[in-house]
């Protein structure tokens, strides 16, 4: 029997087209996935997560303002911690995004010192549904402090990892530019001071407060330029109920047809010492297009290094095997 002959290519001959094409396909990322990786479609209900509808909760009933909030009553509530302490509130608007006030993330602060907690009712204890997150990116509205000392007081906080939704952790809907707030029932929530003496509550507080028109709010503050169109006023002047220090960044939400919309972000005011002045919020409907734009166009957080290393390891192994086989083809 004749000895098997080795198959050799003439000098300078290129490898067959099929292995080269296979190698090229392995090295190139899929075009549609690469182009659409950071864009998620928005559902008809307004939720930014494809599986969870925003603005719905699994507990009903009403509690008088100023009382402790029940667990699951405000599932979108966020506690922003800095250096291990609660400093501001916020709201869940997507599986990667939290809405808060820009002044909570001043430029002189170290972004790595922030921690975001969801599913939290009592600041002393983590509940069964409490989740902790690191901050990946903070996007502050470009008009912040430009036309007003606290104007444009809106911040989008992107988390490093995904929020796991449950009946205690859910997103709130964002008010659209054409929302009608006439006769709306609205609530403000947070862990701010509950008395002028400086008593800080451990449990999440809630208060039902009426909205106040901009002309009346300007009249109460005594200067027309204090209250701008991107702001919203709310407070119970008769019963002296308002938000206080520590509530900043927290949501003002209103119920429309059994769906909760966030209409305001706690921004500034005279505080508990002067409850006859309404609290001033950043008007969410004014910033809704900006919010949606950045949620759609901001790339997602990068993959954790261990997971990325495993993927790269597999790719390198496949590539090495192909390179070893090519000379024999």
pTM of the model: 0.74
CA neighbor of 288 nearest in space, from 119, 172, 114, 146: 172
**DSSP class of 128:** T
Say what the pLDDT of residue 252 is.
96
Q: Which two tokens stand for residue 305?
A: 């290094």
Q: How many CA atoms lie within 13 A of 272 on its CB side?
A: 15
**pLDDT tens digits, one per residue of 3-51:** 433 333 344 444 454 445 444 444 444 433 333 333 333 333 334 444 6
The active-site residue out of 188, 248, 267, 285 is: 248
The active-site residue out of 79, 100, 103, 148 is: 103
Distance from chain centroid for Cα 175: 15
Neighbours of 233 (CB within 10 A): 24
Compute the distance between CA of residue 80 and CA of residue 117 in angstroms, rounded to an integer: 7
Alpha helices in 180-325 (DSSP H): 214-221, 284-297, 305-325
Say what the pLDDT of residue 43 is.
34
The phi, psi pair for 282, rounded to 5°, reads -75, 130
Strands 279-283 and 97-100, by their bridges, are unpaired
The active-site residue out of 94, 153, 230, 247 is: 153
Distance from chain centroid for Cα 283: 16
Compute the distance between CA of residue 225 and CA of residue 301 in angstroms, rounded to an integer: 39
Say what the pLDDT of residue 65 is.
44
For the chain, helix, strand, coil in percent to 5 are 20, 25, 50
Report, as ranges of residue numbers, the positions in the chain whose pLDDT lies below 50: 1-15, 17-19, 21-50, 61-65, 307-309, 311, 314
CA neighbor of 280 nearest in space, from 246, 242, 253, 254: 242
Active site residue 100: no
Place of tokens 């190139």: 28
Active site residue 108: no
Say what the pLDDT of residue 265 is.
97
Say what the pLDDT of residue 324 is.
61
CA neighbor of 173 nearest in space, from 73, 262, 97: 262
CA neighbor of 131 nearest in space, from 112, 159, 155, 104: 159
Place of tokens 């403000």: 188
Say what the pLDDT of residue 58 is.
74
Active site residue 103: yes
Report the share of the chain in percent with pLDDT over 90: 47
């Amino acid at each position: 029997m004749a000895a098997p002959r080795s198959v050799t290519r003439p000098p300078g001959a290129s490898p067959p087209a099929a292995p080269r094409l296979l190698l090229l396909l392995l090295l190139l990322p899929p075009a549609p996935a690469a182009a659409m990786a950071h864009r998620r479609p928005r559902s008809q209900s307004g939720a930014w997560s494809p599986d969870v509808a925003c603005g719905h909760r699994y507990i009903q009933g009403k509690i008088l303002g100023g009382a402790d909030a029940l667990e699951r009553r405000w599932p979108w509530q966020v506690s922003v911690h800095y250096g291990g302490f609660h400093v501001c509130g916020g709201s869940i608007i997507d599986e990667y995004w939290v809405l808060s006030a820009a002044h909570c993330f001043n430029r002189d602060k170290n972004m790595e010192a922030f921690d975001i907690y969801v599913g939290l009712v009592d600041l002393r204890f983590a509940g069964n549904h409490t989740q902790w997150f690191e901050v990946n990116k903070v996007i502050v509205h470009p008009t912040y402090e430009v036309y007003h000392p606290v104007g444009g007081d809106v911040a989008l906080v992107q988390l490093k990892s995904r929020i796991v939704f449950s009946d205690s952790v859910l997103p709130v809907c964002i008010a659209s530019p054409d929302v009608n707030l006439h006769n709306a029932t609205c609530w403000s929530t947070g862990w701010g001071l509950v008395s002028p003496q400086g008593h800080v509550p451990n449990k999440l507080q809630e208060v039902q407060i009426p909205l106040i028109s901009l002309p009346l709010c300007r009249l109460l503050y005594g200067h027309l330029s204090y209250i701008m169109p991107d702001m919203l006023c709310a407070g119970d002047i008769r019963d002296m109920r308002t938000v206080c220090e520590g509530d900043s960044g927290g949501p003002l939400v209103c119920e429309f047809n059994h769906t909760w919309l966030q209409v305001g972000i706690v921004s500034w005011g005279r505080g508990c010492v002067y409850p006859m002045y309404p609290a001033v919020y950043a008007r969410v409907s004014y910033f809704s297009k900006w919010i949606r734009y950045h949620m759609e166009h901001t790339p997602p957080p990068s993959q954790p290094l261990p997971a990325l290393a495993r993927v790269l390891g597999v790719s390198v192994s496949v590539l090495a095997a192909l390179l070893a086989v090519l000379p024999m083809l």
